[in-house]
Amino acid sequence: MLVGASNAVNLTDGLDGLVAGTASIAFATFAIIGTYQHVEPEITIFSLSVVGALLGFLVFNSHPAKVFMGDTGSLSIGAILATVAILMKLELLLVIIGGVFVIETISVMLQVTYFKLTGGKRIFKMTPLHHHFELTGWSEWRVVVTFWFVGFICAGLGLFIEVWM
């Protein structure tokens, strides 16, 4: 779980503000669930602290970025996200709440597998998926905002599943 989430978030890191925005959405969602479920308050407070740190970082990482996250940041954010899910006993829900990270990882896996099976053909112009959209003509800001929107949809779905079902 920790390795998968770390690598998924790391694959998503590639555009200014993409990981900071999507990860803050995911952490905020776990904080809301933690408040609703009355889990250990430390987990909720920690999740909100990470949201605050990511939003503060986003001020300097939004396009054009003045500060970059790199592997050290993205790998640790993924591990922290998985740790929060494990501590809340919501490991399977992480797949839904972190849907953007899952989609990005699946796009890479599909591309590599298809490339090897077909002798060099590609499904996407480039993976992870956010680079495909860039190469089709989307601006970096449009890709990032669209992925944030998808992150909100995934978060809403996760909240719906956990809170109302």
Q: Is the pLDDT of residue 165 over 90?
A: no
The model's pLDDT over 11-43, given as tens digits with 9 standing for 90+, comes to: 999 999 999 999 999 999 999 999 999 889 999
How many Cβ atoms are within 10 Å of 75's Cβ, its own excluded? Answer: 19
The full set of domain ranges for the chain reads: 2-105+140-164
- Tell me the per-residue pLDDT of 132-161, one tens digit each, with 9 for 90 and over: 999 999 999 999 999 999 999 999 999 999
- Token pair of 25, please? 């959405």
Dihedral sign computed on CA atoms, order 107, 103, 80, 69: positive
Closest to 43 in 3D by CA, of 78, 68, 69, 80 = 80
∠ CA 131-135-141, nearest 5°, is 65
